[in-house]
Amino acid sequence: MVHVNESTAFGRWTRDEWGLPAFRFEPHAPYDRQGRTSRIPWYRAGNDALWFQASAAGWIRLYETSRGRRAWHDQAAWAEIDGVATTAGVVPTFGAGYARFQTNVEPGLLVDRLLFAPYGDTPFLLCRIEVRPTDGRDHSVRWHERWPLRPLWLSAPSDDADRRAALAAMRYRRVSDDHLTLVEETRDEAALRYAIRAGVPLVPPSGGRVWLAWLGGREAMTEFAWTAGDRALSTVFTLELGAESTWCGWQMCGVGDPAAAGDLLTGRHDPGQILEEHFGGWRATHTSVTVPGVTDMEREIEWAGVSLRQAVVRDDTVGTFVDPGGRHAAPVGMAVARDVALCGVAATYVFPEIARSTLLSLLQMGDADADITWATFGAGIRHDMLHSPADFDLWVLWLAVEYMAATGDVGVLDQPVASWPQQAVLDLWPDRFGHRKAGPERTVRDQLAVHVRHVVDFVGLGPTGLVRAGADPQVPFVAPGVDPGSVESVPATAQARWILPRLAAWFDRAGDHGAAKEARELSDILGPALARAGASGRWPEILIGGAPVQRGTTLAAQVWPVLAGLAPEPAEALLDVIAGTLRADSPLGTRSGPADTSVQVSVRPDLSSLLVWAAARHAPALARDELGRMRLAAHAESYPDQWIGVFSGAGAWEAPESPRSGLPPEDSDDDDPIATGPSADARHPAALLLAAIRLFGIEPGPDGLLRITPARAAGACRIRTPVVEIDVSESGRRFDGRYRFTADGDAVVGESARRFAAGWNTL
């Protein structure tokens, strides 16, 4: 059952006519509709090929990511009836892959527009338009559909000179037929120079186009004409409406070759069938959880699954992966490697095929030495900063371990992957990378082994034997000019200590005993170093020159050692300390560190998910409470006047002590709806899904095999995903269910090791 959260001033949750959760935006209090875009609620929807952001004011922005992040439409007014915009007084509904806008337009017409990107990877949007008289009269009205174009490439190289050299200007071409108006990119150097001087938005030299097509309803038209202005695709026609009739028509907006639309353009394929197939695809991904004492959890997890799936993008250079979005997504269009991996880990138990492709994409973002930069811009452009020691290798290795344990797919280790720069990158950017050779092709197993060596040889160990982290942006520096080689990270070391034995077990299963030996040897070195660092019962977050930098208890530095089984005292005592300090009076989750320090403290869902994981082993009540604080409902209850957090989360929230409490971090770009994070941030739903999975005792064990011990959830509870279905009894001592493996493999259920076949297996 979907509960209505009455504490929000912005609308209500509901189930749509297709049986899926949706948010109907009906603000009960005034909000700024015309001010900065950050004050207008936005929602991200789409499929693997393209996505759009729909605003509560009835506008859209259309993006594609096949060759970098490109925006085509900016604040596009969808239609006017007799000169009156259909966005006036609009009531939007945001759902699985769609935005729906309903409005009453004078004189006496109800307009219902449903815009969706068909489930899968088709590179077009469909828009169903229904118009119905509400005043009992016949109508003859002029409909003007206008999609303004503002082509903009967001995946910009970090160097401005390179950007100017790489980008190409836009040129428009009209195709004279009844269906299409095309816009094509060109490499006209004179036009490029003019565009740079004039400040015209630019796009990359990748050869692309955008088009708009009308698919039906011709019987309602008495006038029909296509126009192609310098910055718009549009159509104008007349609707003849009877007093009791409802007119329905379909439009399509696509990118790339219109042939991808197939029979839809010719009328041989019913767009209504595409709509039903779209929602059928979404229903097949149904994910939900019920937990004692945590209200709205079923809807929260179901919505998290929708949000995570909508974040999947396809890049022609590195494949399909989960784009974490957030404040780094604009204006430069970056996908941060650490966040991509976190989203992939969560996707493993909901969309395993997406987790697999995300792993392969991350490996392709690394060069021949397995050096993964902090972020990628898409289109084969890597970020040029943070080549100093950092923990990016560990996140890739974690995703590999999680995926193989959850699916049994040891065969992925034999999958070939090409290192950066791939040939596709060289072909796309001959001027920028023409001097380079294509990266070598290796198997996933060999590439993962290189990542282990990269931790030893490049990232390296510091003076006390911990993993160095001199350029890790998550590590708080206490002084400028610190030698990166002297900075050691406790969280990164404990994370490596958890990952490496599990990875070694999978190397052994694949017959690569040499790589397994290297991973175990590194793990054996890190264990004693971590124990020494935490001899006092608390871990510092960093050490500089071998000396701990104390700034009170920090969350990541305590939780990862607990997960790695290294707590020198009962873990329950350490969790009690966290509960009494970092969790105190923090309604959205646990603070990342003490509130009384000069270092910025926030509430990060990814760290909260780690706490749920650790507490699920030792303090289930705390785990359930932390999961409850991570809900969108908790944000709506605590900050009822903020739309951010009502139907979409952020990668971090300002701590309760901040003047901006409950908002994304202050360095977000408040004038950009992507940069503010919530409408395009997959990190929050990923963290929520991962926390729920761990609460049910589902995780890789030390031998790399999946452990399923759901009794730790305590009390009658249930989880449903496309991969796992479990019901736990009221006592918490008995459970039953089933699990779907991708390949034949082994797992441990309760205390018993079992062999499973590919497909669904009874637990």
Quote the CA–CA distance of 269 and 282 in Å, as a whole number.
21
Residue among 626, 625, 623 at smallest CA distance from 603: 626
Lowest mean pLDDT among 77-86, 155-164, 173-182: 173-182
Q: Are strands 11-15 and 21-25 parallel, antiparallel or unpaired?
A: antiparallel
pLDDT at 540 over 70: yes
pLDDT at 32 over 60: no
DSSP 746: E
pLDDT at 225: 32
- 545 three-class SS: coil
Backbone angles phi, psi at 503, to 5 degrees: -65, -40
pLDDT at 697 over 70: yes
pLDDT at 105: 84
On whether the CB atoms of residues 281 and 289 are closer than 8 A, the answer is: no
Confidence of residue 734 (pLDDT cuts 50, 70, 90): confident
Lowest mean pLDDT among 2-16, 230-244, 593-607: 2-16
On whether the CB atoms of residues 332 and 377 are closer than 8 A, the answer is: yes
Q: Contacts by 264-267 with C-beta closer than 8 Å and gap 24+?
A: 264/215, 265/179, 265/180, 265/213, 265/215, 267/215, 267/216
Q: Which residues pair with 62 in a beta bridge?
A: 52, 73
pLDDT at 324: 85
pLDDT at 546 over 90: no
The percent of residues in the chain predicted with pLDDT above 70, rounded, is 75
Give the HSE-up count for residue 127: Cα atoms under 13 Å, Cβ half-sphere.
21
pLDDT at 370: 81
**Distance of alpha carbon 445 from the chain centroid:** 26
Confidence of residue 687 (pLDDT cuts 50, 70, 90): very high
Quote the CA–CA distance of 254 and 182 in Å, as a whole number.
10
User: What's the mean pLDDT in 245-250?
Assistant: 86
User: What's the mean pLDDT in 67-76?
Assistant: 62
Q: At what angle do helices 555-563 and 571-580 cross, to 10 degrees?
A: 160
What is the torsion angle, in degrees rounded to the nearest 10, for the CA atoms of residue 380, residue 386, residue 389 and residue 393? -30
Q: At what angle do helices 337-347 and 352-364 cross, to 10 degrees?
A: 160
Name the residue with tokens 């990814």.
606
Which of 704 and 373 is assigned the larger pLDDT? 704
User: What's the mean pLDDT in 531-545?
Assistant: 82
User: What's the mean pLDDT in 576-596?
Assistant: 88
User: What's the mean pLDDT in 142-170?
Assistant: 53
User: What's the mean pLDDT in 542-560?
Assistant: 80
pLDDT digits (tens, 9 = 90+) for 639-648: 887 877 888 8
pLDDT at 551 over 80: no
pLDDT at 713: 55
Quote the CA–CA distance of 82 and 142 in Å, as a whole number.
5
pLDDT at 521 over 90: yes
Q: Determine the residue type at 720.
A: R
Quote the CA–CA distance of 629 and 583 in Å, as a whole number.
10
pLDDT at 174: 32
pLDDT at 156 over 70: no
Confidence of residue 628 (pLDDT cuts 50, 70, 90): very high
pLDDT at 720: 92
Which of 599 and 581 is assigned the larger pLDDT? 581
Predicted structure pTM score: 0.89
Give the HSE-up count for residue 537: Cα atoms under 13 Å, Cβ half-sphere.
10
On whether the CB atoms of residues 603 and 586 are closer than 8 A, the answer is: yes
Which of 682 and 75 is assigned the larger pLDDT? 682
Lowest mean pLDDT among 313-322, 481-490, 585-594: 481-490
| CA angle in degrees (0–180, nearest 5) for 735-741-742 | 165
Q: Determine the residue type at 127.
A: C
pLDDT at 388: 54
pLDDT at 74: 55
Which of 1-5, 88-92, 385-389, 628-632 has the highest average model confidence (pLDDT)? Answer: 628-632
Burial class (CB in 10 A: 0-12, 13-18, 19+), 48: buried
pLDDT at 203: 41
pLDDT at 509 over 90: yes
User: What's the mean pLDDT in 412-439?
Assistant: 86
* Strands of 759-762's sheet in order across: 288-290, 717-720, 724-728, 735-741, 759-762
CA dist 74 to 151, 232, 435, Å?
8, 11, 36
Quote the CA–CA distance of 25 and 41 in Å, as a whole number.
9
Q: Are strands 79-81 and 84-85 parallel, antiparallel or unpaired?
A: antiparallel
Lowest mean pLDDT among 122-126, 297-301, 516-520, 626-630: 122-126
CA dist 163 to 192, 316, 434, 589, Å?
12, 20, 16, 40
- Maximum C-alpha span of the chain: 83
Q: Determine the residue type at 341.
A: A
pLDDT at 704: 95
pLDDT at 265: 66
Residues 6+ apart with CB under 8 A from 589: 583, 603, 604, 605, 607, 608, 611, 626, 629, 630, 653
Give DSSP secondary structure letters for 355-378: HHHHHHHHHHTB-TT--B-SEEEE
Confidence of residue 119 (pLDDT cuts 50, 70, 90): very high
Confidence of residue 733 (pLDDT cuts 50, 70, 90): confident
Which of 181 and 68 is assigned the larger pLDDT? 68
pLDDT at 672 over 90: no
- Structure tokens given for 548: 């701990």
pLDDT digits (tens, 9 = 90+) for 659-670: 888 888 764 444
Confidence of residue 449 (pLDDT cuts 50, 70, 90): very high
On whether the CB atoms of residues 341 and 399 are closer than 8 A, the answer is: yes
Which of 658 and 86 is assigned the larger pLDDT? 658
Q: What is the mean pLDDT of the chain?
A: 78
Which of 38-42, 200-204, 369-373, 676-680 has the highest average model confidence (pLDDT)? Answer: 369-373
- Structure tokens given for 212: 């708009």
pLDDT digits (tens, 9 = 90+) for 374-424: 777 777 777 655 445 567 889 999 999 999 999 999 999 999 999 988 888
pLDDT at 598: 57
The percent of residues in the chain predicted with pLDDT above 90, rounded, is 34
Name the residue with tokens 């206008």.
146
pLDDT at 205 over 70: no
pLDDT at 675: 40
Confidence of residue 553 (pLDDT cuts 50, 70, 90): confident
Is there a cis peptide before residue 605, judged by omega within 30 degrees of 0? no
For residues 643-669, one letter each, b for 16 or more C-beta atoms within 10 angstroms of the residue's C-beta and e for the rest, the string is bbbbbbbbbbbbbbebeebbbbbeebb
- 93 three-class SS: strand
Q: Determine the residue type at 591.
A: R
pLDDT at 378: 73
- Structure tokens given for 601: 């403290």
* Number of C-beta neighbours around residue 717 at 10 A: 25
* Number of C-beta neighbours around residue 230 at 10 A: 7
- Structure tokens given for 448: 């993962």
Quote the CA–CA distance of 310 and 46 in Å, as a whole number.
6
Name the residue with tokens 């097949």.
284
On whether the CB atoms of residues 154 and 331 are closer than 8 A, the answer is: yes
